[in-house]
């Protein structure tokens, strides 16, 4: 991805993150688990023992894994397509959505944030990423 496009997309995601307090970050990732852009800066809050791995790389792989597992499960249940995957935990929430056939987006929020607000932020972020893809061709 071109540097200007990456910085523009990162700026859009940071703006959304600032409007919905309690979102720890967004990760745009390829379905293969590679980071496109990330605003996650969690340090060791959610991960332990993955030293030397950037947050964006770590969470892109996690997002792709969640997406892949959900897709395979729902395919076996004849319930495709799906809109989003929501994982709730006492330590926080994760929402994963498809942007297109090659790219997904994940948001990580702290536990005190209403899930509905996070869902709206992810939907807005997904639309912004789609706009970037349409205007620039491909992200990856």
pTM passes above 0.85: yes
Task: Supply the range of the domain harboring residue 110.
Answer: 3-136
Whole-number Å distance between alpha carbons of 31 and 14: 22
Structure confidence by residue, pLDDT tens digits, 71-123: 999 999 999 998 899 999 998 999 999 999 899 999 999 999 999 999 999 99
Consecutive H or E run containing 118: helix 115-136
Q: Is the separation of the CB atoms in 96 and 125 below 8 Å? A: no
- For 39-115, strand residue ranges (E) read 84-89, 92-98, 103-109
Number of domains in the chain: 1
Kindly report the CATH number assigned to the domain that includes residue 7: 3.30.450.30
What is the per-residue pLDDT across 11-32, written as a single tens digit (0 to 9) for each?
Answer: 999 999 998 888 999 999 999 9
């Amino acid at each position: 991805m071109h540097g200007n496009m990456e910085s523009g997309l990162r700026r859009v995601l940071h703006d959304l993150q600032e409007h919905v307090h309690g979102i720890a970050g967004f990760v745009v990732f390829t379905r293969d688990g590679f980071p496109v852009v990330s605003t996650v800066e969690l340090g060791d809050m959610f991960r332990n023992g993955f030293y030397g791995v950037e947050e964006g790389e770590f969470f892109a792989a996690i997002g792709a894994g969640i997406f892949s597992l959900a897709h395979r499960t729902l395919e076996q249940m004849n319930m495709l397509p799906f809109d989003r995957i929501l994982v709730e935990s006492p330590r926080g929430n994760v929402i994963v959505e498809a942007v297109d056939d090659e790219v997904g987006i994940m948001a990580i929020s702290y536990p005190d944030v209403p899930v509905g607000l996070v869902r709206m932020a992810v939907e807005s972020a997904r639309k912004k990423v789609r706009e970037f893809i349409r205007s620039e061709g491909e992200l990856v």
